[in-house]
Amino acid sequence: MTTATAPPKQAYFSTNDVEDTVCVMAMVQRIQSWQLFQGILPQLEDDVECTLASLAKRLGLSRWRLSSAIQAHFRMRELPLTTAVQTEHWILDLPRLQIIDVELRLLGTDEAQIQLVDAALADFLTPKDPRQHVPTEPEIRNFLRGFIDGLLKPDLSEAVERAVSVSYTGGQATVVLKTDKATAAAIARHIDKAAKQEGISKAQALEHLIFDRTRTKVVINTYRTGEDPSRVFIPAAGWCALGDYLAQNSAVRTLEANDVAQYVPTAEIRAWVQGRDATCRWPGCSMPAHYCQLDHRVEYDEGGPTTVGNLVSLCQHHHNVKTDGRVRYVMDPFTGDIVWMFEDGTFEVDRAAGPFAPRNIHWKLTWERFLKLQRRTLQGS
């Protein structure tokens, strides 16, 4: 006697619903854009200025936009695995392709590292669930920066040439500070804290801090998966190297996000959820998790526990949408993946993307081991 099993559901992005006319029309547009630029790519020996002048007048694009598009499509020749995913799912429009090109410029002509990025990016852009949320431009940028800064560029401690400039125009002035990412993240948190405790704007809060009119104390949760406590992941900033000052005023701890029999989550639970989510979990929302509220998936007064498996980061706007009953969601407590269900009967899957997301923890450690083994092999040969 044999038992019939249901075939696995096909994974695809929500933009690729072939039964939805809008999805089909948009996908056709992406395909045509790809075919257009791939078809007009110049030969490598062609003159740049003449090519741009000839194509610009025929396409009605500015020289900058045309050059950016051509560079992005040239880049895809270096990414065969990502190109294969593109020609199967057709989710990369021109802005997404341009982001990929810009972020990979940091690697220069390092073919080995580009191949590693190609494999990781192809996997990232391959749908794993039915009606999965398609990665937005910021999500693709954050993924590439996290992969490159976190794994391919281990030396994040290279000194940043700090600079500050003040420019005056009419009756106002602009102040620009150039510093490292970790310091910038700390400054931003102090500004947020001062603005909140004083009830003033962030601009006024910065002035108060500079002129010593107020004092703030903030706790910034950073995350790490390796042995070096100075290499950390800071939400909204990515992988950073802590400078001497920040490193001296930091403490390393293992989060123990134990369940609590109360509505308000502990600081440990809040930090763990923020580390799993990274941003608001509404599909496509990029609000950093530390600015979000924690929502009980199953309401607390209906028996929902205050646990990491029942709490989700939602910005105030999308929290209100959920509270109003205009949308519902269910979450896999093990992976952190969320299925959003909308009033029109459709659904969309959002996958946890923070450094504490189970998949990311495993993936990062696996790549770290792989790269270390590669280096050892090269040193021994």
> Based on the domain organization, do 65 and 135 belong to the same domain?
yes
On whether residue 218 sits in a domain, the answer given is no
> Based on the domain organization, do 198 and 327 belong to the same domain?
no
On whether residue 3 sits in a domain, the answer given is no
The pLDDT tens digits for 220-261 are 878 776 666 667 788 777 778 777 777 777 666 667 777 888
On whether residue 315 sits in a domain, the answer given is yes
Specify the long-range contacts of residues 205-212, CB closer than 8 Å, at least 24 apart.
none
For the chain, what is the domain count?
Answer: 3
Tokens for 154, please give them: 């281990």
> Based on the domain organization, do 97 and 179 belong to the same domain?
no
> Based on the domain organization, do 147 and 168 belong to the same domain?
no
The pLDDT tens digits for 365-376 are 445 544 554 554
> Based on the domain organization, do 315 and 372 belong to the same domain?
yes
> Based on the domain organization, do 89 and 178 belong to the same domain?
no
| Last-in-domain residue among 152, 171, 189 | 152
On whether residue 198 sits in a domain, the answer given is yes
> Based on the domain organization, do 25 and 131 belong to the same domain?
yes
pLDDT band at residue 9 using 50, 70 and 90 as cut-offs: low
Q: What is the mean pLDDT of the chain?
A: 85
The parent domain of residue 134 ranges over 14-152
> Based on the domain organization, do 322 and 357 belong to the same domain?
yes
For residue 127, the SS3 value is coil
Mutual orientation of helices 48-59 and 63-76 as an angle, nearest 10°? Answer: 110
The whole-number average pLDDT for the span 337-349 is 91
Pairwise CA distance, residues 365 & 137, whole Å: 25
pTM of the model: 0.75
The whole-number average pLDDT for the span 76-91 is 95
> Based on the domain organization, do 89 and 202 belong to the same domain?
no
Residues near 91 by beta carbon (within 8 Å), at least 6 away in sequence? 13, 15, 16, 30, 125, 134, 135
Q: What integer pLDDT is reported at residue 153 of this predicted model?
A: 63
The whole-number average pLDDT for the span 82-93 is 95
Amino acid found at 311 = L
> Based on the domain organization, do 140 and 174 belong to the same domain?
no
Q: Which residues pair with 313 in a beta bridge?
A: 294
On whether residue 5 sits in a domain, the answer given is no
> Based on the domain organization, do 178 and 298 belong to the same domain?
no
Measuring CA to CA, which residue among 294, 309, 296, 291 is closest to residue 356? Answer: 309
Instruction: Say if residue 276 is exposed, middle or buried (CB neighbours under 10 Å; 0-12, 13-18, 19+).
Output: buried
> Based on the domain organization, do 188 and 71 belong to the same domain?
no
pLDDT exceeding 90 applies to what percent of the chain?
A: 52
On whether residue 223 sits in a domain, the answer given is no
The pLDDT tens digits for 111-146 are 988 999 999 999 999 999 899 999 999 999 989 988
On whether residue 219 sits in a domain, the answer given is no
On whether residue 243 sits in a domain, the answer given is no
